Chains A and B, each alone.
Chain A
Amino acid sequence: MHRGDPLQLVRDLTKLLLEAGVVDGIVSGVSKEGKVVLHVVKSADELDEAILGYVLVHSYQGLESTVRAIRDRKGDRLAALVKPCEARAIIELAKRRRIDLNSVFIVGFDCPGMRTNQDASGEVMEALRVTPGDEVLKDACRRCEVHAPPYADVCVSLISSPEVTLVEAGTERGAKVLETLRGKGVIIEGQPRELITKREEKLRLLNERGRRTLKEEENKLLSVPGHERFSWFMGQLDACVKCSACIRACPICFCKDCILISKRKEYTPSLFLVTRMLHMADSCVCCGKCDEVCPKGISLSYMLYHLGRKFTSRHSYLAGVDFSRPPRTV
């Protein structure tokens, strides 16, 4: 466990990863003209200017994302600071062989749900500690069912206590790194039993909230008569301008040559969205990036995640948690 500023823990951890040669770069951000842009930090000196925690909460300027940065830099050994949805996306991409898990060091954070970008305020690490109120909670986070990273080399949890950060290794590689940090006095051996219990309880409640919201939304949707449901859906789908921002922002969309982006085939706006839904809904992790970037404000994560969960729950499949289950439509 760690006492003190969790951001300092992140700095010490990432510095160690670079200095010990565990990774060649940390996927992070730097501030340029008041915006945060993607930057892979390759040396420990650069770490001081890097905006390490910020991108977890607020994301980058533009359509960049940590997961896509790793996917597009295959061959580099990189460390990623990710929330559970992004960690699950990395696993789904690993199942499709777009990411090699051996060359990614995942630092996963427990996530209580994020605020909408417009409401983003306050200290970054506070956002990873405090569950946002219902009015400011991001739409996609309402129905998220996985609030802890299912797989990470190191897992960092701020949700059980305002003063103590729980740190846990998920792999041998992670365990070695934590042992070195213990040796340097950055973290203390052992985790208080009551904090572990508190964390598990909080995660259970958060996951349950997501499952409950999903069920309520589905019941509400199916109780509306068919033709009304249809006009609502067509209203949403027809608004699409095929800008493909959702495809570029989506951490799951993995095709190097996306048929929807290429001009090889004509798509009506509704068919554009429906095709994307049928291609990747089973792997949707409900991160909400599509909602954020859509210029027309279409309820993309609502439609995608509901379709995905309707299909995958029948097969007891949950995207990005179990390595042994391949994606359902592959």
Chain B
Amino acid sequence: MAARHVEMVQDLLELMGLGAERVTMVYCSSAEGRYFADMARKMSEKLMDLGPNLLKTRKVNEPVAESRQAPGDPPR
């Protein structure tokens, strides 16, 4: 169930250009403390490499795109 939601979020991030690799799902029990810490560290490092996400770096009040047009489409 959660896997399906994570999948959808990954699909959305990819469509939007943010990158599906920013979200990941890891299966881990409460007894596997070290494994959890390792995975969290690995994920943080990966995110540092990927750089700040576009939601932070975008300028506010960017011009609104022409509606009903897909990116790369000539204007209708």
Closest to A139 in B: B68
Contact size range, A? 35 or more
In the complex, what distance in Å separates the CA atom of A22 from the CA atom of B64? 52
In the complex, what distance in Å separates the CA atom of A291 from the CA atom of B7? 26
Q: How far is the CB of B26 from chain A (nearest CB, A)?
A: 20
Interface of A, secondary structure class, is helix
Q: Contacts A230-B18, A233-B17; is A302 near B54 (CB within 8 Å)?
A: no
Q: Contacts A220-B70, A220-B73, A221-B15; is A231 near B65 (CB within 8 Å)?
A: yes
- Answer yes or no: A229 CB below 8 A from chain B CBs: yes
Contact of B8 with A230 in the complex, beta carbons under 8 Å = no
- Answer yes or no: A18 CB below 8 A from chain B CBs: no
Interchain pairs with CB closer than 8 A, number: 91
Query: How many residues of chain B are within 8 Å of chain A by beta carbon?
Result: 27
Q: How far is the CB of A273 from chain B (nearest CB, A)?
A: 11
Contact of A221 with B71 in the complex, beta carbons under 8 Å = yes
Contact of B65 with A232 in the complex, beta carbons under 8 Å = yes
Chain B stretch 44-76: residues in CB contact (< 8 A) with chain A: 54, 58, 62-65, 67-73
- Answer yes or no: B34 CB below 8 A from chain A CBs: no
Flag the segment in A67-75, A247-255, A305-313 that touches B: A305-313
In the complex, what distance in Å separates the CA atom of A72 from the CA atom of B63? 40
**A interface residues, Cβ below 8 angstroms from B:** 139, 217, 220-221, 223-236, 238-239, 274, 277-278, 281-282, 291, 296-299, 302-303, 306-307, 310-311, 314, 328-329
**B interface residues, Cβ below 8 angstroms from A:** 1, 4-5, 7-9, 11-12, 14-19, 54, 58, 62-65, 67-73
Can you list 23 pairs linking A and B with CB atoms under 8 Å apart? A224-B71, A226-B17, A226-B19, A226-B54, A230-B58, A231-B58, A235-B62, A236-B64, A238-B64, A239-B67, A277-B12, A278-B5, A278-B8, A281-B8, A282-B8, A291-B68, A299-B68, A299-B70, A307-B11, A311-B11, A328-B4, A329-B1, A329-B5
